[in-house]
Amino acid sequence: MSDEKDAGAKGGPADVAAQQAKYPFHKRFVRKAIEIRIEVERFQEALASSSVNISPSGICFQIADPLEQGERMRVLLYVPRGKEVEILKVQARMVWQESSGEGWRVGAAFEQFAPGDERRLRAWLLELA
């Protein structure tokens, strides 16, 4: 198979280059495609949402209305633990968003976790592997 054919194939080098051009921030961690309940707190309101994918460094989620470029928010992650739910709290910053059929898909980078929550998130993501 030639490089030209590889470049045109979905997931090939050309596709990767196009994604990097569209989203120039560097992905350091593997994203886990998982849907959990989240709340996005901004401007004194809490917006219920759900995740699309999560990594130790950020989250992608669906939301009804667009956010401001670079907006900072608090995100509550409702992590399932058997029959219980553990709530992890993290400050995040919106790094990209795009219109989707159900509103907006937002990518946010985690900036600061509540004490112990980063370790708990990493442990939970490892359990999913």
Per-residue pLDDT of the chain (129 residues; tens, 9 = 90+): 444 444 444 455 665 556 555 544 445 557 789 999 999 999 889 999 999 999 999 999 999 999 999 999 999 999 999 899 999 999 999 999 999 987 999 999 999 999 999 999 999 999 987
pLDDT (0 to 100) of residue 1? 44
Helix (H, G, I), strand (E, B) or coil at 128: helix
**Residue 100 and residue 47 share a domain:** yes
Count of the separate structural domains present in the chain: 2
Three-state SS for 59-90 is: EEEEECCCCCCCCEEEEEEEEEECCEEEEEEE
CA distances, 73 to each of 16, 34, 111, 124, 128 (Å): 29, 21, 10, 22, 26
pLDDT (0 to 100) of residue 21? 56
**Residue 59 and residue 1 share a domain:** no
**Residue 61 and residue 13 share a domain:** no
**Residue 67 and residue 18 share a domain:** no
**Residue 7 and residue 57 share a domain:** no
**Residue 35 and residue 7 share a domain:** no
pLDDT (0 to 100) of residue 92? 98
Q: Compute the C-alpha angle 49/43/75, nearest 5°.
A: 40
